[in-house]
C-alpha cells in the first residue's frame, strides 16, 4: 500500500450534473479534509474536521489518539462516514460511507502523521523530522483509522453570484452509489 501524495489540483466538481462514479473517487483522492462522523452511544452522531490520507488501494487513513472516542467507536461498530470537503467556493462535498478498523503499526502511524503534516502545510515534511514525529506518536498513543469506502453520496456546488440569478439555479436529486461503481455507458466527462 502506498500513501498518495497531496494533489496539486483537487478535482473540481461539475456544477451542471451529478458526478460520475469515477469522478467521485477522483474527488476523494485529490482533497485533504473531511468531517469524520461516527455513531455515539447517546445523543446524535459525533463529527470533527480531520485531514485524511488516501492510498493507492482506496483506503482513507486518519490519525488519532488511541484513547479518543473515534478509536473507541470503531471498536464498537466499525462504521464511519467521511464528508469529503472541497475547500473552494462554491463548496461541493462527497459523503463516503466506510468500514473502519484501528491499526497500531508504529511505522504506518508515523507515515500517516508525516503525510498529514504535509497536507496541513502544503509541502512534505523533511526526513529529519521523522524522529520528532515518532516521539509525538509514542507520547500521544497515536493510531491510524483505516477507512475502506463502500458507498458514496455527492452534493453538487450551488452559489448565487447575484440575487437576480435565483430562477436559473438548478437542483436535482442525487443518490448513493457503490464506491466501486462503473461509469454509465456513453457518459464522458
Q: What is the model's pLDDT at position 15? A: 76
Give 41's pLDDT tier (boundaries 50, 70, 90). Answer: confident
User: Rounded mean pLDDT of 78-92?
Assistant: 89
Averaged pLDDT of the chain:
89
H or E stretch covering 36: strand 33-38
Give 87's pLDDT tier (boundaries 50, 70, 90). Answer: confident
Q: What is the model's pLDDT at position 48? A: 95
Q: What one-character DSSP code corresponds to residue 164? A: G
Determine the longest span between alpha carbons in the chain, in angstroms.
57
Q: Report pLDDT digits (tens) over 95-143.
A: 999 999 999 999 999 999 999 999 999 889 999 999 999 999 999 999 9
Q: Report pLDDT digits (tens) over 151-189.
A: 998 876 665 555 555 555 555 567 788 999 999 987 655
H or E stretch covering 178: strand 177-178
User: Rounded mean pLDDT of 25-34?
Assistant: 96
Which pTM value belongs to this model? 0.89
Distances (CA, A) of 140 to 52, 124, 129, 134: 18, 22, 17, 10
Q: What is the model's pLDDT at position 13? A: 86
C-alpha torsion sign, points 176, 179, 182, 186: positive
110 vs 86, higher pLDDT? 110
42 vs 106, higher pLDDT? 106
Region of 45 on the Ramachandran plot (φ > 0 left; ψ -120 to 50 alpha; else beta): beta
Q: What is the model's pLDDT at position 122? A: 87
Q: For the chain, which domains are there?
A: 21-157 (2.30.110.10)
Q: What is the model's pLDDT at position 30? A: 96
Amino acid at each position: 500500500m502506498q500513501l498518495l501524495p497531496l494533489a496539486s489540483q483537487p478535482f473540481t466538481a461539475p456544477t451542471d450534473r451529478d458526478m460520475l462514479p469515477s469522478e467521485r473517487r477522483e474527488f476523494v483522492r485529490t482533497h485533504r479534509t473531511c468531517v469524520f462522523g461516527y455513531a455515539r452511544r447517546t445523543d446524535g452522531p459525533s463529527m470533527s474536521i480531520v485531514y485524511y490520507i488516501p492510498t493507492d488501494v482506496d483506503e482513507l487513513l486518519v490519525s488519532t489518539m488511541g484513547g479518543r472516542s473515534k478509536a473507541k467507536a470503531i471498536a464498537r461498530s466499525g462504521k464511519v462516514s467521511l464528508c469529503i470537503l472541497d475547500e473552494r467556493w462554491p463548496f461541493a462535498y462527497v459523503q463516503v460511507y466506510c468500514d473502519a478498523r484501528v491499526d497500531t503499526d508504529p511505522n504506518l502511524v508515523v507515515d500517516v502523521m508525516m503525510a498529514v503534516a504535509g497536507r496541513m502545510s502544503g509541502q512534505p515534511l523533511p526526513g529529519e523530522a521523522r524522529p520528532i514525529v515518532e516521539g509525538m506518536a509514542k507520547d500521544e498513543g497515536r493510531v491510524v483509522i483505516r477507512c475502506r469506502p463502500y458507498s458514496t453520496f455527492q452534493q453538487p456546488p450551488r452559489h448565487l453570484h447575484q440575487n437576480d440569478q435565483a430562477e436559473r439555479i438548478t437542483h436535482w436529486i442525487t443518490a448513493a452509489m457503490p464506491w466501486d461503481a462503473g461509469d454509465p455507458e456513453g457518459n464522458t466527462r
